Amino acid sequence: MDIENLDAMLQKAFDESSKIYQSRGFQRRIGFGRKPALISVDLANAWTRPGNPFTCDMQKMDKEIIPGMQRLLEACRKNGHVVVHVTTAYQNTDRNDPHNDMGMWHHKIPVEAVSLADEDLWAIDSRIAPIQGEWVMMKKRASAFSGTPLAGYLRGCGVDTVLVTGVTATACVRTTICDGLADGFRTIAVKECIGDRVPGAVAWNLYDIDAKFADVETVDTCVNYLNNVEGFNDRRS
């Protein structure tokens, strides 16, 4: 597939679509708040390393997502911001057992490829390994908020802004962002730190997310925010 031509076609579509969105009052800004948290979605080995059905675009992973995450983590750790590493795994991977912990999702995707019994699959990538004080939260569904205590944990920490990174743009990242907004958090999608398996999926989803569910911001902007939160308080336009 000619990625450059695909990107050019998508950009042309975005430019035209933006005229419609802007004329109807979309693409507003939610801004940064006073207390941030970094939510890293499924940046575990099954997604970040080669050889798994869930493996994402390795070039983007190695050259953009992981280096960007390292910068975000450095800023969070230096300033004492909340960090949550989210991963996914299943205890019972027998699709024929009605008492599994997959729900109905196994009818659509190969969730059996991430077994709880194989910790290496769902362990957070060692290049961005959690440190003491950072929560590693396991989910069973796409959204990091669905069926988990994440929202309560964040509220208990006083968080009002979530910076969301990870994979995939089409599913777990997108639904986490949508649910985060619905639960009352300012939602920020970190542009270079979101990936997928399918060409064009990241660009399309970030464009649409920015129009309706979150502000898409660069790593540079987010790192600056994490280092200088007071200067970004309630920044809206």
CA atoms within 13 A on the CB side of 20: 7
Tell me the β-bridge partners of 79: none
Q: Which of 172, 178, 193, 222 is catalytic?
A: 172
Residue 15 structure tokens: 């430019």
- CA gap 65, 197 in Å, rounded: 13
- Residue 177 has φ and ψ, to the nearest 5°, of -65, -45
Contact 46, 122 (CB under 8 A): yes
Three-state DSSP class for residue 42: coil
Report the distance separating Cα 228 and Cα 226, nearest Å.
Answer: 6
Which residue blocks in the chain are alpha helix, DSSP H? Answer: 3-23, 45-48, 58-60, 66-79, 119-122, 150-156, 172-182, 201-212, 219-227
Q: Is 172 a catalytic residue?
A: yes
Listing DSSP states for 121-188 in one string gives HHSBPGGG---TT-EEEEESSSSSSTTSSHHHHHHHTT--EEEEEEE-TTTHHHHHHHHHHHTT-EEE
Cα–Cα distance measured from residue 107 to residue 159, given in angstroms and rounded to the nearest whole number: 36
- Classify residue 70 as exposed, middle or buried by CB count within 10 Å of its CB (0-12, 13-18, 19+): middle
Active-site residues: which are they? 172
